[in-house]
Amino acid sequence: MQHVWIRPAALTLALAVSLSTGAAQARDANQDDAFASIATVRQAYASGALTPEGLTALFLSRIATIDKAGPTVNAVLETNPDALDIARKSGKTGPLAGIPILLKDNIDTGDRMQTTAGSLALAGKPAPHDSAVAAKLRKAGAIILGKTNLSEWANMRSNHATSGWTGRGGLTVNPYVLDRNACGSSAGSGSAVAAGLATVAIGSETDGSIICPASMTGLVGIKPTVGLVSRTGIIPISHSQDTAGPMARSVADAATVLSAIAGSDPRDPATKDADKHATDYTKFLDPNALRGKHIGVVRELAGIEPNADRALEKTIAILKAQGATVVDPVEIPHLKELSEHELDVLLYEFKHDINAYLATRPDQPMKTLADLIAFNDREAAREMPWFGQELFLQAQAKADLSDPTYLQIRDRNQRLAGPEGIDAALAKDHLDALLAPSWGPAFVNDLVLGDHVVSGDPTVGGVSAPAAISGYPSITLPVDFAHELPVGVVFFSAKWSEPTLIAIAYGVEQKANAYRRPRFLPTLPIR
């Protein structure tokens, strides 16, 4: 299948900047700047060694030469035609002033870019308003560079989907080894940041959609407490589990972005207490933070993928060497019960929530989930060449949210995952956080058969499930490599525990020192 990508005006202008007599604007950026941290970029701006316009032009050029040609990572669905103009006018105030950032294509931006969840059904007219996340990023001074590809409808269309594929954008690949998967559903956000196509990106998660792609592309990903970050203007799956969060090459960058997007929003009732907890999360970047921490190892989530297990053991050694107390093993009560009804809850909520979201997009013809189903049937050759829409059909068949069955299983899931699950495990051994291996190394892309099982007990739903179903926060970071592919671990804890998780992850990161730039290998060498 061939997917035609039309170069937007902003990218044409960026190439002109770098290749014509206006090249002086781009010469103040180099390839190292594409992988620089937020703090390093801000220092370069302050000294005059780099400009927001130069860095933005560099990223636009890399998108043209790396993402859409050369290795062809295919992580960026669309670039902002106004990005260079925004960069020229960029101010110096705000924690993200002049920082180019990519947004997953399920996050509304009230500009000339589209928001489609990767589906041709929503292609055409842009969203009328910024999402709450986009508005906060602009207020913090960020340059919204473009939209990233994803798993279509955030992996809520089919059980047999390939992560990172959309009808609108094709398949995003892993920049470390190009025939490997970037996981999903925030595949484009992960691959783009790993490949040096933006300083940071925003992903979204219902269950695993930040944690898995961040792990497989060697990034730090934070899945916040549900209710810390507003979902207003984000194409939904589930109001019980959805949240947006940062994906970055360091804990410090992820913490900086989370600080900018956290906070209450009257349009999202789940965020009513967010302002009580939102803070400057960079305050918790203490290299000595591991001393005195008590961390439990969830062995039930290990022992499945050997490379992931080696990363876990390396992390445990770091924790002990830095003064943490490791309780190994610990049990999360009801762990194997968590996935029994998770999908049912998501199906009920998706039908309700997607219809509510579509009502905020009055200028496009899709009004209901039934309309989306009909569109996919009409456009099956473009939308369903590899997998179908059985999850759409199952959701459409569900009753409304007053159904006693829905209310019962929703409350049961959250109780077993949260108070009787994670909270109980933390309380039993007086723990600050729980630790498990993240997914194993990235699996090979397979559009015919769909995603391969990687790591985590499939009866549980993967290492992301306990935090996802409870609505509690989790953070993943890279700690090792296996066969040229990054491997990470995940920490999770109680509601509103982002400060603790960031502190722990930062302490591990300083000793693991595991981030490395991708080499865009076409496949793994066979020796």
Pairing of the two strands 294-297 and 474-482: unpaired
* Residue 339 dihedral angles phi and psi, to the nearest 5°: -85, 0
Structural domain of 116: 75-512
Q: What is the model's pLDDT at position 15?
A: 43
The verdict on whether 92 is a catalytic residue reads no
Q: Which of 209, 259, 474, 497 is catalytic?
A: 209
Q: Does residue 150 lie within any of the structural domains?
A: yes
Q: How many CB atoms lie within 10 A of CB 459?
A: 12
Q: Does residue 18 lie within any of the structural domains?
A: no
The verdict on whether 151 is a catalytic residue reads no
The verdict on whether 104 is a catalytic residue reads yes
Q: Does residue 219 lie within any of the structural domains?
A: yes
What distance in Å separates the CA atoms of residue 326 and residue 299, rounded to the nearest whole number?
Answer: 12
389, 373 contact by CB (below 8 A): yes
Q: What is the model's pLDDT at position 347?
A: 98
DSSP secondary structure, 121-171, as one string: GG-SSPPSS--HHHHHHHHTT-EEEEEE--SGGGG-S-TTPPTTEETTTEE
What distance in Å separates the CA atoms of residue 258 and residue 251, rounded to the nearest whole number?
Answer: 10
Query: Hey, is 341 helix, strand or coil?
Result: coil
Query: Hey, is 486 helix, strand or coil?
Result: strand
Q: What is the model's pLDDT at position 64?
A: 98
Query: Hey, is 491 helix, strand or coil?
Result: strand
Q: Which of 90, 185, 204, 264 is catalytic?
A: 185
Q: Does residue 525 lie within any of the structural domains?
A: no
Q: Does residue 50 lie within any of the structural domains?
A: no
Q: What is the model's pLDDT at position 11?
A: 42
Q: Which of 18, 61, 90, 104 is catalytic?
A: 104
- The total number of structural domains in the chain stands at 1
Query: Hey, is 205 helix, strand or coil?
Result: strand
What distance in Å separates the CA atoms of residue 244 and residue 228, rounded to the nearest whole number?
Answer: 9
pLDDT tens for each residue of the chain, 527 residues long: 333 333 333 344 344 434 332 333 434 589 999 999 999 999 999 999 999 999 999 999 999 999 999 999 999 999 999 999 999 999 999 999 999 999 999 999 999 999 999 999 999 999 999 999 999 999 999 999 999 999 999 999 999 999 999 999 999 999 999 999 999 999 999 999 999 999 999 999 999 999 999 999 999 999 999 999 999 999 999 999 999 999 999 999 999 999 999 999 999 999 999 999 999 999 999 999 999 999 999 999 998 899 999 999 999 999 999 999 999 999 999 998 988 899 999 999 999 999 999 999 999 999 999 999 999 999 999 999 999 999 999 999 999 999 999 999 999 999 999 999 999 999 999 999 999 999 899 999 999 999 986 444 433 345 899 999 999 999 999 999 999 999 999 999 999 999 999 999 999 999 999 999 999 999 998 76
CA distances from 82 to 8, 13, 53, 64, 284 (A): 10, 10, 11, 16, 35
Q: Does residue 39 lie within any of the structural domains?
A: no
Burial call 429-452: b when 16+ CB within 10 Å, e when fewer: eebbbbbbbbbbbbbebeeeeebe
* Cα 486-192-38 angle, rounded to 5 deg: 90
Q: Does residue 299 lie within any of the structural domains?
A: yes
Q: What is the model's pLDDT at position 451?
A: 92
320: tokens are 């002990």
What are 220's strand-pairing partners?
A: 248
Residue 489: partners with Cβ closer than 8 Å, 6 or more residues away: 311, 312, 315, 435, 436, 437, 438, 476, 477, 479, 508
Q: What is the model's pLDDT at position 517?
A: 97
Q: Does residue 35 lie within any of the structural domains?
A: no
CATH number of the domain where residue 444 is located: 3.90.1300.10
Q: How many helices (H) and strands (E) does the chain have?
A: 19, 13
Quote the distance between the C-alpha of residue 174 and its chain's center. Answer: 14
